[in-house]
Amino acid sequence: MSPFMTKLLPAAVILVGATGLGGCASKSFVREQIAPVSQRVDALEAKLQETDGTAKAALAEAQAASGQAQNNGQRLDQLNGRVDGIEQRLQAQENRAKRPRN
């Protein structure tokens, strides 16, 4: 063998080996590696949808409670007005009863 070939042969063997060993991953290998991650993502997505549903239900209940509280506040305001009117009438009657008759 010529000295040129002795220097070129190891480089060629290394180049062919690196090319053969560094190939692309097969589809089945990729699917196998991604499957656990995909399952976890699906589980998290299901939990997220459940949490979203719970949050929306809680929001609806809170809005209903807020509306009811507002109605109750209005009714209390009306009742306070009526109670104030009754108190004024009672006080007026008491003041008339306390006046001495001439």
How far apart CA 87 and CA 19 sit, in angstroms, is 100
Tens digits of residue pLDDT in 9-45: 777 777 766 666 666 778 898 899 999 999 999 999 9
How far apart CA 24 and CA 8 sit, in angstroms, is 27
Tens digits of residue pLDDT in 43-96: 999 999 999 999 999 999 999 999 999 999 999 999 999 999 999 999 988 888
Tokens of 2: 């010529």
User: pTM value?
Assistant: 0.52
Tokens of 67: 């509306």
